[in-house]
Structure 1
Amino acid sequence: MSRYVRRVVTGHDETGKAIVVSDGPATNILERPSRPGVALINLWQNFETPAAWDGPDETVEDALILHPPHNGAVFRVIHFEPENPEVLATLDGKAAFSAMGAGNNIIEGARHPFMHRTDSVDFAVVLKGRIMMLLDDTELELREGDTLVQRGNNHAWSNRFDETCIMAFVLIDGKGSVERWNKQS
């Protein structure tokens, strides 16, 4: 599977003139055997809101984790290869998400091993292919060009199709009443 994503970052020179700071392949990529066929590619992170446009020239040198920074945001691309249901049935979602610092976000006993909840508001767009978005009791097919605003929901991504799905995400640190939902369960 091709993981190449060109990443261009702009900035300013010492006189304030707009320049290209970097232009090349994104290198902050997470692939792991515990979640075969999925590659997360971080492109940029903000560590505060409002975002500093004159901050560091690089923000994704550290290990890739699922969540955006506290009061920040992360911009990433994810490649989802078609799932093999037989392999999927053998996978441990908690172990896979632990590799991204999010083992506690897995929904135990859910209908998909990677059902999870993030403490963020996520903006997503399908760049290529199709994917199923699974919620607690429903699912929805998203196709190339479709967009999604996800607000701290239990969800999983399932590529049940015959081609790679590529999605772009912006995850913004969020707050909510997860405790309220947990009490109703």
Structure 2
Amino acid sequence: MSDLRDFIAPGRRIVTGVNKEGKSTIISDGNIPDSALVSFEKIKGGELWMEKDIPVNNRENKDTLEGEEIQDWPEPGGMIARMLTWEAGLEYPMHKSNTLDLIWVIFGKLELILEEESTVLYPGDTCVQRGTMHGWKVLGDSQCTFVAVLLDADPLD
């Protein structure tokens, strides 16, 4: 796993909560759990947080990733936040999902491919992907690292 952690370099993940006196405190400070790391051909990453239901129950001082399996999509009414690094040249095929996705590019160049047009996202750019048919392509000679927050949504059709 050390190679995977070096590749995505997610840094610390700090989770806050409340103590017995109801005061704000840090309940977790460290790397994401090893069970939350993902590795596929040309894709490395890790889940940052997940919720099965929204609104979220903030009274529970629980790490939602502990003991959970990685999921491609959020559960009905839920959300997933992840950080991914895609290798240079990776092409993710056209697809759509019943989610609203917030994509924030941290490093590299990522082309968003739609049925009618395309555009390139650079570091600092954000895409709000609203369940439409789309694909992705990493441009240039560098990998692309981005954060994606996937929220369950009603289907377009």
| Mapped pair 1:79 → 2:69 | no
Aligned equivalents of 1:26 and 1:115: distance in 2?
30
Q: Deviations over 1:124-151 (max 9, x none)?
A: 1111111111122422111011111111
Aligned equivalents of 1:9 and 1:31: distance in 2?
24
Identity of aligned residues (%): 27
| Mapped pair 1:141 → 2:120 | yes
Supply the RMSD in Å over aligned alpha carbons: 1.7
Counting helix residues as a fraction of each chain, which structure ranks higher? 1
Q: What are the ranges of 5 or more consecutive residues in structure 1 without an aligned counterpart?
A: 85-111, 179-185
Aligned equivalents of 2:45 and 2:7: distance in 1?
12
TM-score (norm 1): 0.73
Q: What are the ranges of 5 or more consecutive residues in structure 2 without an aligned counterpart?
A: 1-5
Q: Deviations over 1:73-101 (max 9, x none)?
A: 111111111026xxxxxxxxxxxxxxxxx
Corresponding position of 2:65: 60
Q: 2:97 aligns with which of 98, 106, 118?
A: 118
Q: What amino acid is the match of 2:26?
A: V
Answer 1 or 2: higher relative contact order, Cα 8 Å, separation at least 6.
2
Aligned equivalents of 1:40 and 1:116: distance in 2?
20
Q: 2:24 aligns with which of 15, 18, 25?
A: 18
TM-score (norm 2): 0.85
Aligned equivalents of 1:65 and 1:3: distance in 2?
18
Corresponding position of 1:106: none
- Residue 3 of structure 1 deviates from its aligned partner by 2.1
SS of 2:25's equivalent in the other structure is strand
Q: Deviations over 1:44-76 (max 9, x none)?
A: 112212111122421123221111121011111
- Residue 22 of structure 1 deviates from its aligned partner by 1.0
Count of aligned positions:
148
Corresponding position of 1:174: 153
Counting strand residues as a fraction of each chain, which structure ranks higher? 2
Corresponding position of 1:30: 38
With over 3 angstroms needed to count, the CA separation of the structure-2 counterparts of 1:56 and 1:13, relative to structure 1, is: closer
- Residue 160 of structure 1 deviates from its aligned partner by 2.4
| Mapped pair 1:39 → 2:44 | yes
With over 3 angstroms needed to count, the CA separation of the structure-2 counterparts of 1:173 and 1:127, relative to structure 1, is: same
- Residue 113 of structure 1 deviates from its aligned partner by 5.8
Aligned equivalents of 2:123 and 2:73: distance in 1?
25
